[in-house]
Amino acid sequence: MTTAVSRTTTTAAHLGLVDTLAACASVTEPSQQREDLMMAIWSTVCTCGSRTVTPMGSVAPVAISSDYASTELLAVMDWLRLHEDEARALPPAQLYRTMRAVATLGMNGSGRAARADQLRGLVDVPAGTPVRWAEVDQERVAS
């Protein structure tokens, strides 16, 4: 039998995030405490395994995996840099949820990175427009 955990339940991992953030004087200054915070984010917030997410502003889900964990870490650290005071004031469960959303759904998160990887650098493709890949005739390739 499994026990359901409420979205508002504070776990030891959530408390660990709050504690490591509290121990870090500044997220912008290099220190051992900042390294500890980054490791706590990596082990608690970043994706392990595979998940499907729908990035903010998108309607199509995208698969992410632990391959995008470094992208997620950088997204969270960038968010913390800009919202450090706000992050320090959040309750543990809310801090985790916010970091997880930034890591996976935000503009610098893994969902956007995975979508960009799928599109192989295409830009200005309207939503819902099918993209088809075709072999390029070697004679028409610009050199």
pLDDT, one tens digit per residue, over 4-38 is: 444 456 688 899 999 999 999 999 999 999 999 99
Per the prediction, the chain carries an average pLDDT of: 87
CA-wise closest residue to 45 among 33, 37, 55: 37
Is 90 inside any structural domain? Answer: yes
Q: Output the DSSP codes for 53-66.
A: E--TT-SS-EEEEG
What is the extent of the structural domain holding 96?
A: 12-121
- Would you say residue 143 lies in a domain? no
In a domain, 83, yes or no: yes
| 60 within some domain | yes
Burial, 71: exposed, middle or buried (Cβ in 10 Å; 0-12, 13-18, 19+)? buried
Measure CA 81 to chain center: 15
- SS3 of 142, please? coil
More confident residue, 128 or 16: 16
Model-level pTM greater than 0.75? Answer: yes
DSSP secondary-structure letter at 8? T
Longest dimension (CA), the chain: 64
Domain annotation covers residue 126: no
Asked whether residue 127 is assigned to any structural domain, the reply reads: no
The total domain count for the chain is 1
* Residue 78 located in a structural domain: yes
Residue 73 lies in a domain: yes
